[in-house]
Amino acid sequence: MSFAAVDVIRAKRDGQVLSDAQIDWVIDAYTRGVVADEQMSALAMAILLRGMTGPEIARWTAAMIASGERLDLSAAGRPTADKHSTGGVGDKITLPLTPLVAACGVAVPQLSGRGLGHTGGTLDKLESIPGWRARLSNEEFRTQLRDVGAVICAAGDGLAPADRKLYALRDVTGTVEAIPLIASSIMSKKIAEGTGALVLDVKVGSGAFMKNLDDARELARTMVELGGAHGVNTVAVLTDMSTPLGLAIGNAIEVEESVEVLAGGGPADVVELTLSLAREMLAAAGRTDVDPADVLAGGGAMDRWRDMIRAQGGDPDAPLPVAPETETLYAAADGYVTAMDAYDIGVAAWRLGAGRARKEDAVSAGAGIMLKVKPGDPVRRGQPLLELRADDAARIEGARELAHGAITIADQPAARTPLIIERIGLPMVQASLTS
């Protein structure tokens, strides 16, 4: 069945519910180039303004999946579970989490992306390791999953090609914020990759895409429902992103911090979230008989990390890039650190060269920010607060004021926000839909 694109646009513009046939046609036609970018831009804006019903989002996601291939991971020989984070500052959790879960007996087919703006990208971080490559063929992907149990790589061109086109379009048309399009974008790729279970880390706060709890809940519930509808055991965890995760914000320095966690150390918040998400992934995959804390302490996760890096051409023992230019910022008064704005810290790291403004921009492996304090810590006047790192001293000038202003020091300590805010599973979603 064929439609006129303008009629589909008008229908959604006027608040109508799109039919299955309309959705199937418009996604397929856009993928083939029959529907032009300007027409899909208009439809995306109509969806942003008018929204979509649950059945519409489900059909839209199914059409995105159908635009490409769906991988079969049965050859992995064990249960599979993946994790997706909606993005944040200092969020290196995928790096220690993937080998940890694999060491617990669950294969992890982790398809990751690159950073844009103030949020970092997992692939950018790993590419700071000499020799490591992000691109794998489907056969390489499946072989590594079977032999090592863990893969972190870029999504292949055959997975949800409709999403790849639409994602780029949303970025330049002011429609990134549309929750139906966010949910279908994330879930179409995760479902197409073939994982049996999925844990979603939905960030909330200044450094997250979702700034408030209500929007984060809506996104989480929508994605959990989509996963369940496609036979993927899905759970979402809402986590705080008002403060950066860990002490390192950058590429190579986040790899270093991740290795510290795998070695049994690392910042408490990174360890806490890594173990919490590992337990969720293992439970979703049916492996509640293993405690990831024991595996982490026993060194099994570190062994799996080294195997994973080598399998993709990397040298886990090679020195990582170090930025030649550094500057330390100091506290101007005694007191307590009561806030550390994740967004401002993320933008400062981007200005230092750790991030990119456009997808085609290069990033610096060594640039970034090392935090010396965290919210709740007491400080004395003249005490180091953070260290700026860059390849070019001129970049430090552009980041200094923003980074310093991100830290609030007061006379009295403030109450701490819990790192893990809420858990949303399918029974909870079903109850909310029927109430």
Considering the candidates 41, 128, 185, 364, report the single residue annotated as catalytic.
Answer: 185
Give the position of tokens 């863990």. Answer: 150
Query: What ranges in 133-245 are assigned the alpha helix state H?
Result: 138-147, 161-171, 179-192, 213-229
**Active-site residue identified among 59, 83, 84, 164:** 84
Give the active site residue among 189, 203, 217, 304: 189
- Answer for the pair 400, 352: CB distance below 8 angstroms, yes or no: no
Residue 339 β-bridge partners: 408
Task: For residues 220 and 228, give the distance between their C-alpha atoms in angstroms, rounded to a whole number.
Answer: 12
Question: Is 84 among the residues known to form the active site?
Answer: yes
Separation CA 213–CA 202 (nearest Å): 10
User: Using CA atoms, how far apart are residues 414 and 91, in angstroms rounded to an integer?
Assistant: 23
**CA distances in angstroms from 355 to 252, 352, 412, listed in the order given:** 12, 8, 34
Inter-residue contact 395 to 367 (CB < 8 Å): yes
Tokens 């809506």 sit on residue: 218
Residue type, 275: L
Q: Which of 83, 170, 351, 389 is catalytic?
A: 170
Active-site residue, 404 included: no
Query: Is 230 a catalytic site residue?
Result: no
Q: Is 163 a catalytic residue?
A: yes
Q: Of these residues, 91, 163, 201, 269, which one is catalytic?
A: 163
Q: What's the start-to-end Cα distance of the chain, in Å?
A: 36
- Count of positions (residues) in the chain: 435
Helices (H), 390-425: 393-405
Q: How far apart are CA 369 and CA 357, in angstroms?
A: 18
Catalytic residues: 84, 163, 170, 185, 189
